[in-house]
Amino acid sequence: MLIGFIILGGEAIISYKALPWRKETKKLIHLILHGIALVLGIVGIYAAFKFHNESGIANLYSLHSWIGLGTISLYGIQWIFGLVVFFYPGGSGNVRSKSLPWHVFFGLFVYVLALGTAALGFLEKLTFLENSGLDKYGPEALLVNFTAIVTILFGAFVALTASTAAPVAADDFSYSAI
């Protein structure tokens, strides 16, 4: 789920603003990366339920699982909305222009929720490891904490990139230095 929602989702957000290609190409890449992230998230939730059921662990007992289910649901709604309004069949120009700021805001909101859910997941995993006898300052604990910090920093840079103005595309016929 970390690879799907945080990394691929972040790359999908950045790709729409940073790639120097035509708008239609950027929209397609944005849509596909988010679609892959959504599929990976669904597979991750299936794997978590399967593991819990096979191990005799209760499902949906933690804040991480509750917020995680809410996040993947909102992620799916956002993806379907983007597909229908901006890609296929596509809304009218008026609908797209009025929906775009909300799509961007809601997309960043869901991404920040995914970051928070990941942080809760790291905390939950570390708590389980420490309860099973792991040293609080051992290498495993440091690895979990370091991974969480890198994840949060990556997410912060994605949010920063998404909230800044996109670079102006250069005209193919304008002058540029060699």
**pLDDT digit string, tens, across residues 16-56:** 888 989 999 999 999 999 999 999 999 999 999 999 999 99
Fold of domain 2-163: Four Helix Bundle (Hemerythrin (Met), subunit A) (1.20.120)
Domain definitions of the chain by residue range: 2-163
Helix axes 139-163, 9-18, angle to 10 degrees: 30
User: Checking phi first, is residue 126 left (phi over 0); if not, alpha (psi -120 to 50) or beta?
Assistant: alpha
For 88-141, write each residue's pLDDT tens digit.
888 899 999 999 999 999 999 999 999 999 999 999 999 998 999 989 899 999
The answer to whether 34 and 12 have CB atoms below 8 angstroms apart is yes
- The pLDDT, as a whole number, for residue 136 is 87
Average pLDDT, integer, range 165-178 = 61
For 51-89, write each residue's pLDDT tens digit.
999 999 999 999 999 999 999 999 999 999 999 999 988
- The pLDDT, as a whole number, for residue 165 is 83
For 131-167, write each residue's pLDDT tens digit.
999 898 999 999 999 999 999 999 999 999 999 987 7
Higher pLDDT, 173 or 143: 143
pLDDT over 60 at 178, yes or no: no
Single out the residue of 22, 28, 9, 43 nearest to residue 151, CA to CA.
Answer: 9
- The pLDDT, as a whole number, for residue 171 is 57
